[in-house]
Amino acid sequence: MAVTSSGKIALWEGGSLWLVTAGRETTETGAHSHHAIQITFQLDGLIEIEGDGKSVSGPVVAVASDAAHLLRASGAAAALLFIEPESIAGRSLAQGLFRQNTVVSLKGERAISYIDELKRCLDDPDNQGDLVKLGQKIVADFAAATVPAKPDHRVRAIIDYARDRLEDRVTLPDAAAHINLSDSRARHLFAAHTGLPFKTYVLWLRMERAVQLYAAGSSLTEAAHQAGFADSAHFSRTFRRTFGLAASALRLEAIASPD
């Protein structure tokens, strides 16, 4: 499949910022969901996201973790901010943005003010550090309104255990034994804090890793293998189900956090 979109992806612990330029003026994805919280900034038009039984439009729209939705956009350029919901910032965003609906339009001056900064980053080829810092600044700004309880340290330990072993087979019993919990207690604790079964969460971690590797220049096959997918076809199917478009239609330049 021909590449139809390009751009940059800035990655840091707990989040990523995608700046994307499509090869057409209108974009529509199929219905999909992903574990990360998503805030979309349409940089040269409007975005409409349908989910939770209604349609929400505007230049900046946020989608809650694991919420099924589809996206329609007018304009070629967009910024997509993804935040890990188990992070402190993610938990704060969940409490502050999604109390009534899983899809919300962000209309305040704070949200709109970032569009010009994001445009500059998209146009500037030498903005690697700036893009990471801007992504982190936006997350911190939106998350500052509420102070959530810290995520359970045992859940973070399970996630870290899985993240460090994605090339291998990762099981909940092994992760539970690593932090001295029984299988049943770990399963209950993990689902209560993440809202997902462990196996589903590991699939999301594999997707994050594969996207990072693909954006850094690996082929679909190489990225799939190094992230622990069975093959590139499995990665491609999961990518389409997660983001609503084909991975092969997207070409990104990866920018890692300098920290």
pLDDT by residue (tens digit) across 234-250?
Answer: 998 888 877 777 777 77
Cα-based distances in Å from 171 to 29, 87, 135, 166: 32, 22, 32, 10
Question: Tokens 């003010």 identify what position?
Answer: 113
Neighbours of 110 (CB within 10 A): 13
pLDDT(211) > 90: no
Local confidence band at 128 (pLDDT 50, 70, 90 cut-offs):
low
Report helix, strand or coil for 95.
Answer: helix
- Find the angle CA(27)-CA(211)-CA(118) to the nearest 5 degrees: 55
Contact 17, 134 (CB under 8 A): yes
> Of 96-100, 140-144, 145-149, where does the model show the most confidence?
96-100
> Whole-number mean pLDDT of the chain?
85
Local confidence band at 1 (pLDDT 50, 70, 90 cut-offs):
very low
Task: Please state the pTM of the whole predicted model.
Answer: 0.79
- The token duo for 214 is 């693909």
* Candidate from 47-51, 113-117, 236-240 with smallest mean pLDDT: 236-240
Cα-based distances in Å from 2 to 6, 27, 233: 11, 16, 17
pLDDT(24) > 70: no
Classify residue 248 by its DSSP letter: G
Query: Phi, psi (5° rounding) for residue 235?
Result: -60, -45
